[in-house]
């Protein structure tokens, strides 16, 4: 049954059950505003929800900021803490494992996406939909990152035969029953390729929604560093062997 046909008030339908999580690494400055807006949106549009932050070995005061937020929001906000940085893939895997509701939404903790656009994804989640994926209407990053991102997206889509238009848009709503079957292994940013490819292979319907992308106000990306790029390329090759060649 479509969640919009669940008997809730037609004038303001409320999504039934949702886990929202944010992977965070040195994102202390952006988290208070992000979490406040998240609760504002969820209280209006979702009947039953939880919010989770995965603190992936942050070296700034992210832990202290999250402690203060937990005092404010109580048990509705859970924190998963990695004592050491496990990489973006490791943070996502911990978030997926911690989620307990029927659907899971995640985006990054740096505030480059607006959680206020989440209702647009909720509206597209139908009874056979497994993934509602955002795609960047326009990327607001330094020019070199924009071009590297475009090249990576085209390369990965061709290499893995992925139909989704924007693999690199970490603004996703996923049915948790599908996540439990995927067995994700990536620890780097290649987890996005692995996740999308396996969801497409599952046969579930995929919907796409354009979302806005904003300049990064604090810190710097961990992806565009030599060590991170090397790990990503190595894992990308291994994924290609397992998901395309040896499948």
What domain count does the chain have?
Answer: 1
Residue 4 has a pLDDT of: 46
Please answer whether residues 168 and 154 qualify as being in contact, where contact means their C-beta atoms are separated by less than 8 angstroms.
no
Q: Which domain holds residue 22?
A: 3-245
Alpha-carbon distance 66 to 34, whole Å?
Answer: 12
Alpha-carbon distance 73 to 51, whole Å?
Answer: 10
Query: Is a pLDDT exceeding 50 seen at residue 5?
Result: no
Query: Is a pLDDT exceeding 50 seen at residue 76?
Result: yes
Mean pLDDT (whole number) for 209-223 = 77
Q: What DSSP line would sit under 48-96, residue for residue? A: EEEEEEEEES-SSSHHHHHHHHHHHHGGGEEEEEESS--HHHHHHHHHH
| Residues with Cβ within 8 Å of residue 72, at least 6 apart in sequence | none
Query: Is a pLDDT exceeding 50 seen at residue 6?
Result: no
Mean pLDDT (whole number) for 82-92 = 95
Residue 243 has a pLDDT of: 80
Alpha-carbon distance 66 to 174, whole Å?
Answer: 25
Query: Is a pLDDT exceeding 80 seen at residue 223?
Result: no
Work out the mean pLDDT of the chain and round it to a whole number: 88
- Domain containing residue 25: CATH number: 3.90.550.10
Phi, psi of 209 (to 5 degrees): -135, 130
Residue 229 has a pLDDT of: 67
Alpha-carbon distance 109 to 205, whole Å?
Answer: 27
pTM over cut 0.85: yes
CA atoms within 13 Å, Cβ hemisphere of 116? 9
């Amino acid at each position: 049954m479509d969640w919009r046909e669940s008997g809730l008030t037609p004038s303001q339908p409320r999504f039934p059950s949702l886990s929202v999580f944010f992977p965070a690494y040195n994102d202390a400055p952006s988290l208070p505003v992000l979490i406040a807006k998240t609760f504002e949106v969820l209280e209006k549009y979702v009947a039953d929800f939880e919010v989770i932050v995965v603190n992936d070995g942050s070296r700034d005061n992210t832990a202290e900021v999250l402690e203060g937020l937990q005092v404010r929001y109580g048990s509705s906000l859970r924190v998963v803490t990695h004592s050491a940085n496990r990489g973006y893939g490791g943070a996502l895997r911990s978030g997926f494992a911690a989620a307990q509701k029927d659907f899971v939404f995640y985006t990054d903790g740096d505030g480059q996406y607006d959680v206020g656009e989440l209702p647009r994804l909720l509206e597209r989640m139908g009874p056979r939909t497994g993934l509602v994926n955002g795609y960047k209407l326009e990327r607001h990053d330094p020019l070199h990152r924009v071009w590297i991102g475009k090249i990576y997206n085209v390369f990965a889509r061709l290499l893995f035969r992925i139909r989704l238009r924007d693999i690199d848009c970490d603004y996703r709503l996923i049915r948790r029953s599908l996540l439990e079957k995927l067995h994700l292994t990536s620890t780097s940013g290649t987890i996005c390729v692995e996740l999308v490819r396996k969801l497409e292979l599952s046969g579930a319907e995929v919907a796409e929604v354009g979302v806005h992308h904003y300049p990064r106000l604090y810190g710097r990306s961990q992806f565009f560093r030599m060590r991170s790029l090397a790990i990503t390329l190595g894992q990308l090759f291994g994924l290609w062997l397992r998901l395309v060649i040896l499948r």
